[in-house]
Structure formats: C-alpha cells, structure tokens
Amino acid sequence: MTEREKMLSGRLYHPGDPELALARDRAKDLTWRYNQMNPTDWEGRTALLRELLGRLGEDSWIEPSFRCDYGTQISLGDHVFLNYDCVFLDAAPISIGSFAQIAPRVCFYTVGHPIDAEVRDTGLEFGRPITICDSVWLGGNTVVLPGVTIGEGTVVAAGSVVRRDLPPHVVAGGNPCQVLRPITEADREKWQAARRLHGTDGSGGS
C-alpha cells in the first residue's frame, strides 16, 4: 500500500513521501497562479479551479487568496461561495454541498497527529474526512476539525471551533462549538417576509 493509499484510507501515513510531496507542489503551483490571476478573468479562473479541485459544481466560486494541500480531495457542489483567505488541509476528502456559504478565513483541517509524542515525532499523521451538507453557512474565522459533519441548513457563528458533528437546521457557535438553538418556523417566516419585501419571490414587490 502506498503512502497516498494509506492517507486516503484514514491510516497513518508519511507526508514526506515523494508522491505526496509532488502532489502538494502541484497544488501550490495552481493556487499561486489562481491567487495571482486578474480578478475579472472569470473563465480563466474557473478553468484553473476545475484543474485544481476534485469537483467544482455549477456556479461555484472561490475568492482569492485560497490555500489547499492537494485540491484533488475537495468537492464543491453547485452554487457554493467561498470568501477570502480560506484554507483547506485536504489529506482526506472535504465535501461541501450545494448552496453552502463559507465566510472569510474559514479553515478546514482534515489532518490529525498522534497523541503519543514518540509516534508523532516520526512525522506520521492521519486524515479524517469533513462533510458540509447543503445550504450550510459558516461564519468568518470558523475552524472545522477532522472527521466533522455539519448537517443541512445549519448556521455556525463566526469564530467557532467545530470539533464534533452538528445536526441539520440548527444555529451553533462557540469553542468548542455547540448547538445554541434549532432553526424554527418563526425564523423561516421572518426571512420569507423580508424576501417578499425585497421582491424576489415573484410577487413584484417594490
């Protein structure tokens, strides 16, 4: 089993392996090029993201600057928006569902290190996948740690550190991040009313 195969299977692996080092160099080159591109070169930037990432959904976008370890383990659904300065350590898969909103400086860390110092000092590490379901909103400077799943429609407050799974349709926040309350029908009615005032529901509001 290669070190890459170990990495993708969740086993301890050595990141200094030449194949992995070459893959990280590829990601560094592509992200550097992306971050230097003309911000209005929409077609060129989209083409480069498709080369970098495992999947880029329809009408999804990443604002520079952007950093990742490999890129190939990152999957973005449709209509995903990542704001400035996001970091993806994608030793394991990072899957972000459609209509997710990712605020500035959100970090996704799939990489973990052994608690035992003797093993850790060998340089071995491991990866655990991160899953962000559809329509999640992550506030600025949120950190998502290895192995976490965040359920559909959930909102995470800025500055949170998400160590454990979060259920769908809740507001959560803090360090460690905890569920603060469910998202209720009252929330829905409030924001649907605001939408009607905005005139985006087909009613032709002012």
What are the backbone dihedrals phi and psi of residue 113, each rounded to the nearest 5 degrees, phi first?
-125, 145
Pinpoint the alpha helices (H) of the chain.
3-8, 18-36, 42-52, 117-120, 185-198
- Pull the structure tokens for residue 189: 């009615």
Eight-state DSSP code of residue 125: B
Residues 55, 107: Cα–Cα separation, whole Å = 19
* E strand or H helix at 172: strand 170-173
- Pull the structure tokens for residue 60: 């999804």
- Tell me how long the chain is: 206
| The one catalytic residue among 14, 113, 169, 198 | 113
Confirm whether 113 is a catalytic residue.
Answer: yes
Q: Give catalytic residues, as residue numbers.
A: 113
